[in-house]
Structure 1
Amino acid sequence: MDLLRWTLVFLVLALVAAVFGFGGAAADFAYIGKVLFFIFLVLFVVSLIFGRRRRL
């Protein structure tokens, strides 16, 4: 869950930077947020697969 929290932090930072007119920084924060979100999704799916596999 910590990875998901960092994703939300970077996306909020991107929104704040965009509001204040820092387009380059907002794009960078949004990109980092997207990368962290996809890493979270991959790890979540892997943990679901291996978690089910052990119980069988």
Structure 2
Amino acid sequence: MLRYAVIFFIVAIVAAIFGFGGIAAGAASIAKILFYIFIVLFLISLISGMLKR
């Protein structure tokens, strides 16, 4: 999931360079949402791994 967040971030940067503001904003928001989901899932798996010990 982190890979997809990075890919959408790169797409947003490239779109912003070429002047596609709407596409850049959309890709950046998707990247931000995927990154937050990744962080939440990572923390859940970290906590559950600590509790199983």
State, as a whole percentage, how many aligned pairs show the same letter.
Answer: 55
Structure 2 gaps of 5+ residues are none
Give runs of ≥4 in structure 1 deviating > 3 Å.
none
User: How many equivalent residue pairs?
Assistant: 53
Which runs of 5 or more structure 1 residues have no equivalent in the other structure? Answer: none
RMSD over equivalenced CA pairs, Å: 0.3
TM-score scaled by length of structure 2: 0.99
Partner of residue 4, structure 1: 2
For residues 11 and 31 of structure 1, what CA distance do their matches in structure 2 show?
9
Task: Give the aligned partner of residue 31 of structure 1.
Answer: 29
- TM norm structure 1: 0.94
